[in-house]
Amino acid sequence: MLRRVLILLILVFSNSSFAQGTFKRTLKLMGSRFDITVVAHSQIEADQYIDLAIAEISRIEHLISSWDSNSETSKINANAGKQAVVVDKELFGLIKRSIGISKLTQGAFDISYASMDKIWKFDGSMKTMPDASEIKASVEKVGFENIVLNENNSSVFLKLPGMKIGFGAIGKGYAADAAKALLMKKGVIAGIINASGDMNTWGKQTNGSPWNIAITNPLNKEKVFAMLPVDNQAIVTSGNYEKFVKFNNVRYTHIIDPRTGYPSTGLISVSVMAPKAELADALATSIFVMGKDVGLNFINQLKGVECIIIDESGTVYYSDLIKPKP
């Protein structure tokens, strides 16, 4: 009898030691809201993992920040038109991949967008549309072709004086990828890194079900039109429904085409699903610039990437492989 009780006690403690829960922390990082969720055995263990993720995201923020004068990104910008700057291989790799996405999107995505003159204002103060010559001049220093990389010494050179690079359209996605990779390496079996709409998931919920990500229509945030089960995948949603100006009945939104200087039109939300948040982040921005038809055709040619687009009338469009069945 005693032996049976001992065996039962061992089983109870054994099961409790393997019981896991879901723990979440919300905070501000990289100037944005981050929600970090992990599956762990206890709050103490979860806090340790979340602290690791925060430290990793903060490290990346310092690496890519254009506001920190001591960052390597700022040093690249400060030496534009003067000399090449040797940088960490991690930053070099991010810039190289960014240029690759620029080539893939024919310039719809471009980290040298930071060189644009800020002639558009989306705070309600803008009463007239900028002159066409002013718009053209605003992008004279933009162009990924003017970013020169040297693989031999990991150096970066911006050809044009006054040229700048920035990672606003890819940085949070990269940070989410890095935090996820670190936590997986540390043994965290499941979680979600949500960087203000840049969602990166791995593993499953404690009940064995996949994580479900809700996609809402920004014109009616109470209505969920898609609930997507995701497994080790990223979903990035970019919205263009709050920051805009309207001239001649055309709604110009805050994502600007780096090739022309004109803001994007016609779309209010783009959600992209991809293996990496870095890629999904960049492509979501690109689709705004490309527009619905070109954007859908582009995504349909990419393996492992899907998208959901909402235009300014509230109509929802899907890429081929996730299109709902009639």
Q: Are 276 and 131 contained in the same domain?
A: no
Residue 22 lies in a domain: no
> Is position 8 within any domain?
no
The CATH number of whichever domain residue 87 belongs to comes to 1.10.3980.10
Q: Domain for residue 303, yes or no? A: yes
Whether residues 221 and 315 fall in one domain: yes
**Whether residue 143 sits in one domain with residue 61:** no
Whether residue 269 sits in one domain with residue 189: no
Q: Evaluate if residue 10 carries a pLDDT over 80.
A: no
Provide the percentage of residues in the chain whose pLDDT is more than 90.
73
Supply the pLDDT for residue 259: 96
CA angle 274, 272, 148 (to 5 degrees): 70
Poorest-pLDDT segment among 28-42, 108-122, 163-177, 238-252: 238-252
According to DSSP, the β-strands at 198-202 and 191-195 are antiparallel
Average pLDDT for the chain: 90
pLDDT confidence of 1, banded at 50, 70, 90? very low
pLDDT category of residue 214 using cuts at 50, 70 and 90 = confident
With respect to residue 295, please indicate whether it lies within any of the assigned structural domains: yes
- Residue 22 reports pLDDT greater than 50: yes
Please indicate, yes or no, whether residues 36 and 182 belong to a single structural domain of this protein.
yes
Together in a domain, 235 and 316: yes
Number of domains in the chain: 3
Within a 10 A sphere around the Cβ of 115, how many other Cβ atoms? 24
Q: Is 182 exposed, middle or buried (0-12, 13-18, 19+ CB in 10 A)?
A: middle
**Model pLDDT, residue 325:** 65
Q: How far apart are CA 117 and CA 153, in angstroms?
A: 31
CA 277 – CA 237 distance, rounded (Å): 10
- Decide: helix, strand or coil at residue 73: helix
In the chain, the percentage of residues whose pLDDT exceeds 70 is 93
Model pLDDT for residues 43-99, shown as the tens digit of each residue: 999 999 999 999 999 999 999 998 888 999 999 999 999 999 999 999 999 999 999
**Residue 97 falls within a domain, yes or no?**
yes
Domain residue limits at 47: 29-66+168-203
Spatial CB neighbours of 314, under 8 Å, sequence gap ≥ 6: 217, 219, 220
Residues 229 and 98 in one domain: no
User: pLDDT: is 198 or 90 the higher one?
Assistant: 90
The rounded distance, in Å, linking the Cα atoms of 73 and 167 is 9
SS3 152: coil
Distance (Å, whole) CA 230 – CA 210? 6
Q: Are 82 and 136 contacting, i.e. CB atoms less than 8 angstroms apart? A: no
176 and 61 part of one domain: yes
Phi and psi based region of residue 143 (left: phi greater than 0; alpha: psi -120 to 50; beta: remaining)? left
Predicted pLDDT of residue 324: 74
Same domain? For 237 and 308 the reply is yes
Examine residue 282 and state whether it is found in any structural domain, yes or no. yes
297: domain CATH number is: 3.10.520.10
- Label residue 13 exposed, middle or buried (CB < 10 Å: 0-12, 13-18, 19+): exposed
pLDDT digits (tens, 9 = 90+) for 256-295: 999 999 999 999 999 999 999 999 999 999 999 999 999 9
Looking at the structure, tell me whether residues 268 and 250 fall in a common domain. yes
- Which residue has 């990500």 as its token pair? 213
pLDDT tops 50 at residue 9: no
From CA 252, how far away is CA 188, in angstroms rounded? Answer: 43
For every residue of 174-242, DSSP letters joined together read: HHHHHHHHHHHHTT---EEEEETTEEEEES--TTSPPEEEEEEETTEEEEEEEEEEESS-EEEEEE-SS
Residue 103's beta-bridge partner residues?
Answer: none
Distance from C-alpha of 167 to C-alpha of 173, rounded to nearest angstrom: 10
Same domain? For 257 and 111 the reply is no
Within a domain: 217: yes
Indicate whether 222 and 313 sit together in one domain: yes
User: Is 310 within a domain?
Assistant: yes
Question: Rounded to an integer, what distance in angstroms lies between the CA atom of residue 54 and that of residue 311?
Answer: 35
pLDDT of amino acid 278: 95
